[in-house]
Each structure stands twice: as structure tokens, then as C-alpha cells.
Amino acid sequence: MKKTEIVLFVLILLAFAVGICLYSQMPEQMASHWNAQGQVDGFMSKFWGVFLMPFILVILALIFIAIPRIDPLKKNIAQFEKYYNEFIIIFFLFLLSIYFQTLLWNLGIKINPGIIIPIGLGILFFYVGILLEKAKRNWFIGIRTPWTLSSDRVWDKTHQIGGKLFKLSAIIVFIALFFPRYTTYFILGPILAATLFSVGYSYYAYQKEKKA
């Protein structure tokens, strides 16, 4: 975890450094949100437009670092710590890509978020699938239902299924690049379906194990 903490510190420092360097060049009201067509539909004051994301990264870093230390089943987390750490870094890089896209847009370099977000989420969802397949029973990471938390076997079965579904969802998200008007549906639809199916499957697997 120490190497990951160093990487997170560097990424957070980079975000603050870039924000400070570009602060004077930002407009007083910064574009901060885009609709599905890539049109600006939300604004934020310059200070929060520049520094909200770096502050969010600090809070997230503290949470991610704390989880393996406070989980009652932290010995289980240690078994897939490598994948957990890699997920954290990928997640931070995704957030940084959104942050830099926002700054560039407000500098006049208008990179369409409809390209950045599907690519970033596709990569993130695919790695979530990998993380789920490797995860062992714990209280913070994974598909945590009353049934997965009650049985290691149900946990493993559910996460094998869930991991494959998240990988499939990632592929569907990549397809959104070719249908920008429907990006939201390509992102939310598969993830919602994968989540609901995984939860339902955990109940089914638990009942099946209970009968056996």
C-alpha cells in the first residue's frame, strides 16, 4: 500500500500544481458540466472549478487508504491487495482525465467529454471486472449483499459472474463512442443490469447452498 500511497500523493500534487499554474487563465465562471450532446449545461465559480477535483482526490485517497486498515476482514483484502491498489490508481487517472479535460475546455481547447468519459469508464469498468474476480469476502470492496457476506462460496460464485458482467459492460460502454447521442444509456444500462443480476444471483446461490 505504501507504493500506492506515494503514487496517489504524486497525482494529487500534480492536480494542485496544474490548477495553481492555470488559475489566473481561467474564466470567472467555468464550464463544469456537459450534456449528452457535448454541450455545456453547467457552470462553477473559478475557485471551485479549479480546486474541487483536487480536494475530492484528497478525500478519496484517505478513504481508499483507510479501507484495508479498518476492515474486520482485512486479511482477506491482503489476498487481492495488488488488484485493489491498481484499481485505485486507474480510478484516480480517470478522474484526472476529466479534470484536465475541464481545464483545457475553459482554456479554449475543447476536447469533447463524450470521447473522454466512455473511454475512461470502459477501462475502469473492465478493471472493476478483474478486481471482482480476484476479491475475497470483505465489508467494503465488491458485491456486498447479505448472502455474499454470509458465505465465502456464495461470495466467490457471485464475484466470478459479476466480474464477467462488468467486463461485458465495459465493451458496451466502448460502443457508446459510435453513438454519442445515447452515451448515457450505453453507460448506465449495462452497469445497472450487471449490478441487479449480480445481486439476484447472490440470493439464488445462497438459497441453493442452503438447500444443499
Tens-digit pLDDT profile for residues 134-178? 999 999 999 999 999 999 999 999 999 999 999 999 999 999 888
Integer distance in angstroms from the first to the last C-alpha of the chain? Answer: 40
Runs of H (alpha helix) within the chain: 2-22, 46-70, 74-77, 81-106, 113-134, 152-175, 183-211
pLDDT-derived band at 104, boundaries 50, 70, 90? very high
CB-side exposure of 186: number of CA atoms within 13 Å? 21
pLDDT in tens, 10-67: 999 999 999 999 999 999 999 999 887 778 989 999 999 999 999 999 999 999 999 9
Please report where in the chains the cell 470521447 appears, as a residue.
115
| Average pLDDT of every residue of the chain | 95
pLDDT of residue 112: 87
pLDDT for 1: 60
C-alpha cell at 8: 496517489
Convert the pLDDT of each residue in 108-134 to its tens digit: 999 988 889 999 999 999 999 999 999
Q: Do residues 79 and 136 touch, judged by C-beta distance below 8 A?
A: yes
| pLDDT at position 177 | 87
**Per-residue pLDDT at 56:** 98
pLDDT of residue 114: 86
Q: In Å, how far are 76, 119, 155, 197, 198 from 159, measured between CA atoms?
A: 14, 24, 6, 11, 8
- Report the half-sphere exposure of 201 (CA within 13 A, side-chain side): 19
Domain ranges of the chain: 2-211
